[in-house]
């Protein structure tokens, strides 16, 4: 089943001076070093709430192709420019997604929202959280200004679910969470904590 799932990697990081000056240099190196290795696209931007923090969304075709590339000797040519663009280590989360269309709409939206839900102890991701996430996704599809959302489990964290949602503007999201989405969000908060981040992403075309 996992082989059919998109596996985007979301990376929040402190950018180096050279990256601030020209992010396309690094992204071009990433592009050139990952041809034929499963990278479908690289999206980049900055945290809307803290412009000193950068974000990349590396869209891998499958988790297996990404992991296979990481084990190949050529991976160093991909990893080095990534590390040089960062100051310190980044915050990396890889997600398994089945709804590729909704995901691509979300990251192409004017504002992309990243939703990290971490379960409290003694709660189950599959049986308790997943049904609530499906309910929230269906409700979001009816919200004016929401351009779709895609959700999936974190690869690194067994207690985490991640959502990527697209919005026309943050004020549309603010209205929705106070209105139609409020009851379901309250149910999710009963079993887990929610962290939100926002960015305006640009796509670096993979040639």
Q: Which of 29-33, 37-41, 128-132, 196-200 has the lowest mean pLDDT?
A: 29-33
Give every CB contact of residue 108 below 8 A, 6+ residues apart in sequence: 147, 166, 201, 203
185 and 124 in one domain?
A: yes
104 and 90 in one domain?
A: no
Partners of 56 in the beta sheet? 11, 44
Q: Are the C-beta atoms of residues 135 and 183 closer than 8 Å to each other?
A: no
Residue 206 lies in a domain: no
Partners of 151 in the beta sheet? 163
175 and 105 in one domain?
A: yes
168 and 144 in one domain?
A: yes
The last residue of one of the domains, among 62, 97, 132, is 97
pLDDT at 2: 41
pLDDT at 47: 97
pLDDT(149) > 50: yes
pLDDT at 158: 92
67 and 8 in one domain?
A: yes
pLDDT at 191: 97
169 and 115 in one domain?
A: yes
In this structure, the number of other CB atoms found within 10 A of the CB of residue 28 comes to 15
Q: What is the mean pLDDT of the chain?
A: 92
186 and 156 in one domain?
A: yes
Structurally, the chain folds into a number of domains equal to 2
Residue 82 CA to residue 69 CA, distance in Å, equals: 15
User: 55-84: b or e for each residue (b if 16 or more CB lie within 10 Å)?
Assistant: bbbbbbbbbebbeebeeeeebeebeebbee
pLDDT at 207: 59
Residue 204 lies in a domain: no
148 and 108 in one domain?
A: yes
Residue 203 lies in a domain: no
The predicted-structure confidence for 31-71, as pLDDT tens digits, reads as follows: 888 887 889 989 999 999 999 999 999 999 999 999 999 99
User: Which whole number is the average pLDDT over 184-188?
Assistant: 97
Please report, for the domain that includes residue 66, its CATH number: 3.30.70.100
85 and 6 in one domain?
A: yes
169 and 137 in one domain?
A: yes
The last residue of one of the domains, among 64, 97, 130, is 97
Residue 61 CA to residue 3 CA, distance in Å, equals: 9
| Residue ranges making up the domain that contains 164 | 100-198
For the whole prediction, is pTM greater than 0.85? yes
The predicted-structure confidence for 6-19, as pLDDT tens digits, reads as follows: 999 999 999 999 99
Q: In the chain, how long is the greatest CA-to-CA distance?
A: 51
User: Which whole number is the average pLDDT over 110-132?
Assistant: 95
Residue 207 lies in a domain: no
């Amino acid at each position: 089943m996992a082989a059919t799932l998109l596996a985007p990697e979301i990376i929040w990081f402190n950018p180096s001076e050279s990256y601030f000056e020209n992010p396309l240099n690094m992204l071009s190196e990433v592009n050139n070093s990952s041809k034929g290795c499963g990278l479908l696209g690289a999206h980049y931007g900055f945290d809307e709430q803290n412009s000193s923090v950068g974000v990349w969304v590396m869209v891998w075709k499958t988790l297996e192709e990404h992991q296979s590339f990481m084990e190949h000797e050529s991976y160093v040519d991909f990893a080095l420019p990534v590390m040089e663009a960062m100051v310190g280590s980044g915050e990396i989360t890889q997600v398994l997604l089945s709804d590729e269309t909704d995901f691509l709409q979300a990251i192409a939206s004017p504002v992309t929202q990243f939703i990290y839900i971490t379960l409290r102890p003694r709660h189950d991701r599959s049986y308790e959280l997943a049904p609530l996430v499906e309910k929230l996704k269906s409700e979001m599809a009816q919200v004016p200004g929401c351009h779709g959302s895609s959700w999936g489990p974190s690869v690194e964290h067994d207690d985490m679910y991640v959502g990527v949602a697209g919005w026309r503007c943050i004020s549309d999201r603010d209205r929705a969470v106070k209105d139609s989405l409020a009851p379901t969000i309250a149910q999710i908060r009963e079993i887990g904590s929610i962290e939100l981040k926002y960015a305006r992403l640009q796509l670096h075309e993979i040639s």
